[in-house]
Amino acid sequence: MVGIERVFRSGLLALCICCASAGAHAQLFKNWISNIDQSPKVGVQVKIERFTPDMARRIKAFGFSFVRFGVWMNSMQLASYRNSVSAAFDAADSAGLPVLLTVRSTVSLVQPAQNDESRTAQLRESATQLVDLISRLTGTYQKNLLAIELWNEPDLPAYWPTGSVDSTFPVFIQAVCEKLKSVHTSTPVIGFGFSSAPLMNTRSGRLLQSVQASSSGCIDAVSYHAYGMSSRQIQDVSADVRSRYGLPVVISEWGVSSGGKKDAVGQADEIKSFLAKRAQTGTPLMSIYEWQDSQQAKNSRERNFGLVDATGAAKPAFGSARAALSVK
């Protein structure tokens, strides 16, 4: 797996367009994270529970530059889960695949029925726990990490089970950013995996703005999920966010299901078209959701985003994506 040799300041990058050093650092990040020819790096999402060395080698041979998977803070107390995380990193390492690692909690960060003072204290304590986890993960796997992504879809209640996101997310992220300054790591940090583009007058846009207003910031790039968006729409978002925050934008999830409105052929066509235009998106990095269909997902759409089916057999999207990735 490719190591990261970039020197990373102990005071992490501020979310402030008026800061000249932030703009320069963001530009360096863009130049580092994209391919040498400035085309976007393209990766794919996997699930740690079934990610194997054989799968990793197949993904590498396919043409993907990295894999993305998540680690849940509340699950790390279980030895079996820690073993799964370690095995997933070993699998990626065996194929020379860097990891875009998303970290979050799947349970509430505060206890119910708390007053404001107590809730703030619990949010800050949870922030300490998350940063401690990041410190342990980077200490163990730093040479394997492409970047750390803070959270996943906090703008959706299902992924922010902590009450009002408008009031709790800024407090939590401000505390995370403050504490990250004491973590000396060369691993870039991106955030916050919004479920939709963080444009003005949207929930994700307001959350991003609230972090800028309430803290010095701590991320090298803004990440969001771009389901259903065209390359031109993504390009417009990239330009908008860069103009307001001075930061590059990365796509940590984009995909098409073969179990929704599209069948397997429709999925293949859309993926082929999207990847053919990836250089026009204005983003240095994008992750396709996902490598393999998920039998445990809640509905047909969620179960069928894979390039291969649940048994590992190639779907039509497999061939179209591989052909698109072979063309610069």
Q: How far apart are CA 137 and CA 126, in angstroms?
A: 16
Q: CA-based diameter of the chain, in Å?
A: 56
CA distances from 129 to 116, 139, 179, 194 (A): 20, 15, 10, 22
CATH for 24: 3.20.20.80
Burial (CB count <10 Å: 0-12, 13-18, 19+), residue 146: buried
Instruction: Give the CA-trace dihedral at 157, 161, 162, 168, to 10 degrees.
Output: -40
Q: Is residue 1 part of a domain?
A: no
DSSP assignment of 34-78 equals: S-TTSPPEEEEE--GGG--HHHHHHHHHHT--EEEEEEEGGGTTS
Q: Is residue 44 part of a domain?
A: yes
Return the structure tokens found at 191.
């955030």
DSSP assignment of 160-196 equals: --SS-HHHHHHHHHHHHHHHHTT----S-EEEEEESS
Question: Can you give the residue range of the structural domain that contains 252?
Answer: 20-325
The secondary structure of residue 150, as a DSSP letter, is E
Question: Which pLDDT belongs to residue 152?
Answer: 98
Please give the chain's pLDDT, 328 residues, in tens: 333 233 223 333 333 323 333 444 444 454 456 666 667 899 999 999 999 999 999 999 999 999 999 999 999 999 999 999 999 999 999 999 999 999 999 999 999 877 889 999 999 999 999 999 999 999 999 999 999 999 999 999 999 999 999 999 999 999 999 999 888 678 899 999 999 999 999 999 999 999 885 444 589 899 999 999 999 999 999 999 999 988 889 999 999 999 988 899 999 999 999 999 999 999 999 999 999 999 888 899 999 999 999 999 999 999 999 999 987 5
CB neighbours of residue 250 within 10 Å: 29
Signed CA dihedral, 106, 1, 64, 235: sign only: positive
Residue positions counted in the chain: 328
CA angle 51, 42, 92 (to 5 degrees): 30
Q: Is residue 5 part of a domain?
A: no
Q: Is residue 309 part of a domain?
A: yes
Question: Which pLDDT belongs to residue 217?
Answer: 55
Query: pTM higher than 0.95, yes or no?
Result: no
Q: Is residue 204 part of a domain?
A: yes
Number of domains in the chain: 1
User: 227: closest CA among 289, 301, 158, 280?
Assistant: 289
Q: Is residue 206 part of a domain?
A: yes
